[in-house]
Every structure is written in structure tokens, then in C-alpha cells.
């Protein structure tokens, strides 16, 4: 490695005194660094373990709600469980996991959510876990 390309140990790498107060924009990064960061973000989202997907807030509540009320309008789920901005992502995650299906109505803009057989089995296991915790 050339001595002109090493990172100084005791000196700052650039002229910024505090990188948190003087952040660099994404566009200022070299193209190869931008590419690595974008690929890493996409890879993390695609390869997310199932347990990580189900740990999110309201995920178990959504499954139990759908098991009890299915089929439901998506707006009913929002009204009864949460109106959080991440709800569309949670619904899509559950769809990708095979726990629910989304049906788009022809004459209105309403979306109908229906729990799958797999979703019903997952809901049963969640209820069993709750029973163990609450009653033993």
C-alpha cells in the first residue's frame, strides 16, 4: 500500500471536526460506495430472517385479528389495530410469508385481507404461546 493512501491514525480523515454535525450527503460518496450501500440495504430486506419479520410491533396482533375477523377490509384492520405508517409494509410482509392474501375489489378501491390456512396455524400457535405464558 502506498504511504499516500493510508488513513491517518491520530489525525482527522478530512476537515470536519464533528461528522455528526457536518454529515456528507449520499451523492457526495464515491459511486462504488453508493453501490455497496444500496446493495447492502436491498440484500438485508430480501434476506431478512422470518423471526425478524415477525418481531415487529403489531405483527402478532395482526395475525390474531385476521384469524378472528377474516375476511376484513384493510381499512378495518387500520381502524382496529393500528394506523401506523408502517402498516402497509407489515401487511406486505405477512403476504410474502403466506399468512394472508390481499384481494383487490373491482368496483371500489377497497382491499380485502383474508387469512390463509398457514396463517390460521400460525395464529393457533400464537394463542398457545399466550396460554402457556398466562396460565402456567
Q: Give the C-alpha separation, 103 to 114, whole Å.
A: 8
Q: Give the C-alpha separation, 129 to 64, whole Å.
A: 12
Q: Is the peptide bond before 40 cis (omega within 30 degrees of 0)?
A: no
CATH topology of domain 56-135: Arc Repressor Mutant, subunit A (1.10.10)
**Close Cβ partners of 123 (under 8 Å, ≥ 6 residues apart):** 63, 64, 66, 67, 115
More confident residue, 11 or 86: 86
pLDDT score recorded for residue 82: 87
Q: Where are the domains of the chain?
A: 25-53, 56-135
Tens-place pLDDT, residues 96-135: 899 999 998 877 788 899 999 999 999 999 999 999 999 8
pLDDT score recorded for residue 117: 96
Tens-place pLDDT, residues 12-69: 566 777 767 777 777 777 788 777 777 776 655 566 777 777 888 899 999 999 999 9
Amino acid at each position: 500500500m502506498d504511504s499516500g493512501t493510508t488513513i491517518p491514525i491520530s489525525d482527522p480523515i478530512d476537515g470536519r471536526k464533528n461528522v455528526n454535525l457536518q454529515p456528507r450527503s449520499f451523492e457526495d460518496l464515491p459511486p462504488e460506495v453508493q453501490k455497496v450501500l444500496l446493495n447492502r440495504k436491498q440484500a438485508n430486506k430480501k434476506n431478512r430472517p422470518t423471526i425478524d419479520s415477525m418481531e415487529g410491533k403489531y405483527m402478532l396482533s395482526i395475525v390474531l385479528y385476521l384469524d378472528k375477523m377474516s375476511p376484513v377490509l384493510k381499512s378495518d384492520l387500520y381502524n382496529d389495530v393500528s394506523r401506523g405508517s408502517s402498516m402497509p409494509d407489515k401487511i406486505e410482509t405477512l403476504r410474502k410469508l403466506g399468512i394472508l392474501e390481499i384481494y383487490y375489489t373491482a368496483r371500489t378501491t377497497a382491499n380485502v385481507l383474508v387469512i390463509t390456512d398457514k396463517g390460521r396455524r400460525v395464529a393457533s400457535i400464537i394463542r398457545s404461546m399466550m396460554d402457556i405464558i398466562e396460565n402456567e
